[in-house]
Every structure is written in C-alpha cells, then in structure tokens.
Chains A and B, each alone.
Chain A
Amino acid sequence: MQAFLDTFDIYLLEAVVNGILLGGVLALLALGLNLIFGVIDVTWICYAELVMIGMYGMYYMVQVFGLPYWAAAPIAILLVAALGAALHYIVIAPLLTAPPINQLLATGGVLFILQSFATVAFGIDFRNLGIRLPVLAIGDMHFSYSRLLAFVAALLGMLAIYFFMKRTYTGTAIRAVAQDRQIMSLMGVDTKRIYLITSALGGALAGLAACLLVLQYDVHPFVGLSFGPITFLICVLGGLGNFVGGFIAAFVFAQIISLGGLYSDLEWGYVLAFAFFIVMMFIRPAGLLARRS
C-alpha cells in the first residue's frame, strides 16, 4: 500500500511539473493573442495555424535543408512574424472599420487557407525534426529536456516582450493604443504602423511557440487544432487583452490538461479543461481577473 502511494505521488508530482512546463508555452500563445486583441481589437482565429506554419518552417529548415536548430529558430520566428504582418496588412487592415465579427470570420477564412495550404504543400503525413533531446531523471521522475527548454525559452520570450513594452517608445505606444486609439496621432504616432508592428510581434510569438512545440510534437496540417481551442479558452478566461489574466489562466489550464492526461488520454484533459471553463464562467463570469477599467 505504501509503495503504491509512493509511486502515485511521484506520478502526480511529475504531472504537476509537466503541467507547469506546458503552462509556459500556453502562456506564450495566450500572450500573442492577447497582444493583438488588446491593441487592434481583433482576434486571430488562425493563430494556432500560424504556429503550424512555423513548425513546418522548422521541419524544412532542419530536416530538409540541414540547418542546425539554433540557426533555424530565428529564421522561423522572423518568417511567422512576417506572416503576421502580412495577415494584418492584407486581411485585417481593409476590415478595420467593418463590424468586428467580419474581422473574426476573415481570420477564420485564413485558418482554412493555412490548413489547406499546408495539406496541399506539405501533405498530410506527420513530420518531426528527428531531434530527440535527452530526458532528465530526478529520482523516479522523468522530464524531457525539450519541455524544460520550451518552458525557459517561453519565459524568456515573455520577459523580452515585457521589457520591450515597458522600455521602448514603440512598446509604450503599443500599450497606449490599446487605451485610446483616437488621439494617437496627437502624439505623433502612426497607428497603422503600430498595428503592423504589433501583428509582427504576435506573429513572432507564434513563431517562437512553433520552435518550441516542434521539439515535442509532430507537425501536420491540423496540429493547430490541438492547441488553438485551448488558447482561446485561456484568453477568454483570463480576459481578452489582459496579459496577467492570460498568464495565470494558461498555467491553470496546463495543470488541468496535464493532470487529466495522467488518468487518461490527453484529449480528455482538453475535455476536462473545457468543463472547468464552463464552470468558471458561472463562478467568475468577468474573467479570472476582472479587468480594471
């Protein structure tokens, strides 16, 4: 009996730690989506599909062209950043004055485009980098280095965004636009440019997430569906545009998924997370942290 309890605790602890590690990447995704929503007032439904494209970018650079991982990662980040900027320029900018629902649906169209583009261009086979990072064993617990790396890199990415937003003129302007977009021209700020930069930043975050996820998961055209919905739930629970709320919600959801996955398939972890979300809507309808106005 005692032995049973010991192993049980070990697995539980392992799942908790893995949940925290997963939380880092989810928080990164939520940050990107929140950034774009907070500043431009648009939700990119196709956000996880940008990640998917980034993952394919990594796959091709590393596996097909033989680039080392560390060299491919910055290129992938830039690639997805450019994709984000293009998405804004081509699809969102013409719709800025349209009803918000139209902007949302247009990015839904882009989701279609990216998924089917990947199907057409890359096929439906599952691909991976073929990089197997070692596993860290602490006692009886096992943590893969790819998850640890992902967690640390995600935190560093978020920290970089934090300092960018706090320290630079452009970062301050991005925060300011989110609060009062009409008067930005009085400050000499070109809102269009800020939107474009924000979109590129959101893309870059998706690109970073892609570099980290591709170490852990196979890439296929529909891989975005595995973490897109959960990212949306995180953002809604944390309050759209609320960075801190998104951060906390990401870790809460990651725990639920990880612990849920402990007892059964990962998919059930998602289902559990959704059930939790519905319950939370009753308890805290204004979001995890009600937004200060």
Chain B
Amino acid sequence: MNSRYAAWAVGLAALIALPFVYREPYHLHILVLILIWSFAYTSWSIMGRFGLVSLGHGGFMGVGAYVTALLWNHLDITPWIGIPLSMVAAGLLALVVAYPCFRFRITGHYFVLVTLALSGIVLQVITATRDYTGGSLGYTPNRAPSGRGLLALQFDDKTTWYLIALGVWVVGLLIWRWVDRSMSRYAMEAISEDEDAAAAAGVNVTAEKLKITLISALMTALAGALYCQYQMFISPDTVSGIAVSLQMVFAVIVGGLYVSLGPTIGAIITILLAEGLRIGFGTKAVGWDNLVYGVLLVVFIIFLPKGILGSVLDRLKPQPKPSGTK
C-alpha cells in the first residue's frame, strides 16, 4: 500500500515539475486540455459507474461555461464568484431534473433519454438567447485590462493554467476516491444492483442518487467554466449539447468506467486522437475526427466494453477465485 502512495507522490511531483523544465507551448496546451477534460470525464464517471448514465452533462458543462462568461461580460462579476454561481446553477438544474427521475424511479432508458433531452434543451436555450450568448457563433469573455488578470481569472502563460488544471484534476481524482471509499458507495452499489433490496435495507435511494448527481453536476460545471476561462472562447457545440455528452461517455468507456484513472486515460486517448486527426486531415476536413470517434465508440462498446484500462487491468490481475467478489 505504501509503495502505491509513493508512486502517486512521485508521479504527482513529476507532473508539477514538468512545466518548469519543459515549456513547449503546444504540448503544454494539449496537456491543459487533457487535464480539464479528464476532470470533466471523471465527474461524469462518478455517476456513470453506478449505472446512472447521464447524457445531460453537456448541459451542465454548458451552464458552467456560459453562466460564468455571461456574468463577467454583462454584470462584471469576477469568475471567482461567477464560477461558484454557475456551479450552483448547474446543481439546481441537476436537482430539478434528477429529483423526479429518482423519486419516481425513472431509470435505464428513461433516465438516459430525459438527460439527453436536457442537454439538447440547454443547447437550444443558448442558441435562442443569441442576443446575449452569440448563439451558434460562439462567445468570448471580455479581456481583462492588463494587471487585472488574476481578478478575471485570465492568464496568458500556459504554466499557470497547467498548474490550475493539474490541481483541479487531482481534486477530481480525490473526490472520485472519496465517493469510492465513502459509505454511500455501498449504498450506491446496492442501488445499481437492486433498488428494492437497497430500499429495504434502509438505504435512502433517492437521496444517495441525488448526492452523487449533485457532486457530478457541480464538478462538470466547474470543468465547463475552466474550459471557458482557458480557451477564452466557447460555442454551443464545444461545451454543451448531446455531442459533448456523448463525448464524455465515449472517453470514459474507452478509458474504463470502474478505474479511477480510466476517464483520464480516455481523455488522453481521445484528445490525442482528435488532435492527430485534426492535423492529419488538415483543417478542411471538418467532421472526420468525429466520424472516427463514432466508429471507435461503437467498436469499443461491442468489443471492449470495459475500456482499455479496465481490460488491461483485468488481464494483469490474477484471476479472482470463482467464489470471489463481483
């Protein structure tokens, strides 16, 4: 166990040290993207691993990004306050949709479709309010006057962003671990296996599910807001809608749903893939990256449903005894 902590500590130290010895801006940029999306994917998997497959996370991410940017541009509210507010907004949205779902046992297909509609609707709202949000053309937070970058949470140098993203990513993993370890995990597993049995055992199914959903939505909104602050440009397609939701699911499935680093692996693979495709096909070939994405998603679900990391770990692990866990 100690050696595992040591490995984590060494790995983390290396990651922190990295931008101080290696400064190639494009590579750092890719790393920041990977870390932010890893955080978003991790937050999706917190719900997803308990069988709560949400396709509404594109919506939460969109709320996080747009609310933060709109507050800054229109009301001069600093992202330091705007981000928490956007998270609250996403959390409320999550509760409003999730509460009736869980309360009335809307599960499986129904839950997926309801959440899917949620991200579709958030996208519609962003498009409908085009006078404020710029609609499908996208939106840019106002540049802060020089010297006030910290207040506006706008930084020009990649190292700062790298460290912020790294910090958030680590926090995401810690939350994943905390949920994994905490009592509610047993409850949640009982829920995803058999809701009636869980309820009979005294687990408040609705409350447990809501808790997980809330955590997940708050984290996703934070990811959206950070993405906005980092890229300084958001559009409905990149931070909201069904496509973004599916992208999260895709990455988590590729990486592995039941392993803490699975979503991160998924982010590394998908972002490198997207960048590779983008460079390989050139800028003219819009859509090719998503085409390959889609094909891979289907292939993965058919042939490797446990994801890359999950499947590799399965193979590495000594086979559990027949009477063992699972």
Q: Do A and B come from one complex?
A: yes
- Inter-chain contacts of B53 with A (CB < 8 A): 101, 104-105
CB of B104 within 8 A of CB of A109, answer: no
Q: Is B31 an interface residue (CB 8 A)?
A: no
If over half of B's interface residues share one DSSP class (helix, strand or loop), that class is named, otherwise mixed; here it is helix
Interface residues of A in 69-102 (CB under 8 A from B): 91, 94-95, 98-102
State the CA gap A267–B286 with chains docked (Å): 26
Residues of B within 8 A of A114 (CB): 294
Q: Are B291 and A265 in contact (CB under 8 A)?
A: no
Contact yes or no, A45 B101, CB < 8 A: no
In B295-313, which residues have CB < 8 Å from any A CB? 295-298, 301-302, 305
- Using Cβ atoms and an 8 Å threshold, which residues of chain B touch A113? 291, 294-295, 298
**Given A100-B109, A104-B112, A116-B291, does the pair A91, B302 have CB atoms closer than 8 Å?**
yes
Q: How far is the CA of A118 from the CA of B53 in the complex (A)?
A: 27
**B109 near A112: Cβ-Cβ < 8 Å:** no
Known: A229-B117, A232-B117. A112 touches B112 (CB 8 A): no
Return chain A residues, CB-CB under 8 Å to B301: 95, 98, 102, 105-106, 109
Cβ proximity bits B175-203 to A, threshold 8 Å, 1 near / 0 not = 00000000000000000000000000000
Per-residue contact bits, chain A 164-190, to B (CB 8 Å; 1 contact, 0 not): 000000000000000000000000000
Q: How far is the CB of B114 from chain A (nearest CB, A)?
A: 6
Contact present for B302 and A115 (CB under 8 Å):
no
**How far, in whole Å, are A229 and B123 apart by their CA atoms in the complex?**
11
Question: How many angstroms from the CA of A286 to the CA of B296 in the assembled complex?
Answer: 36
Stretch at the interface among A10-18, A244-252, A271-279: A271-279
Cα–Cα, bound, A285→B243 (Å): 28
Contacts of B297 in A (CB 8 A): 105-106, 108-109, 112
- Using A101-B51, A104-B109, A109-B250 as known contacts, say yes or no to A267 and B100 having CB atoms under 8 A apart: no
- CB closest chain-A residue, reference B109: A43
List, in ascending order, chain A residues with CB within 8 A of B117's CB: 229-230, 232-233, 236, 274, 277
**Contacts of B93-109 to chain A: CB distance below 8 A:** 96-97, 100-101, 103-106, 108-109
Q: Which of A45, A221, A286 has the most CB of B within 10 A?
A: A45
A-facing residues in B69-123 (Cβ within 8 Å): 96-97, 100-101, 103-106, 108-110, 112-114, 116-118, 120-121, 123
Interface pair B127/A102, CB less than 8 Å apart: no
Q: Is B63 an interface residue (CB 8 A)?
A: no
Identify A117's interface contact among B113, B120, B243, B291, CB under 8 A. B291
Q: Given A109-B293, A120-B286, A274-B118, 14 more contacts at CB 8 Å?
A: A45-B55, A101-B108, A104-B53, A108-B55, A110-B294, A112-B250, A113-B295, A119-B290, A120-B287, A124-B286, A267-B124, A278-B100, A281-B104, A285-B105
* 12 pairs from A and B in contact (CB 8 Å cutoff): A101-B51, A101-B53, A109-B293, A110-B294, A116-B294, A119-B287, A120-B285, A229-B120, A235-B113, A240-B110, A277-B114, A277-B117
Closest 8 CB pairs of A and B: A112-B294, A229-B120, A119-B287, A285-B104, A109-B297, A267-B128, A113-B294, A116-B290
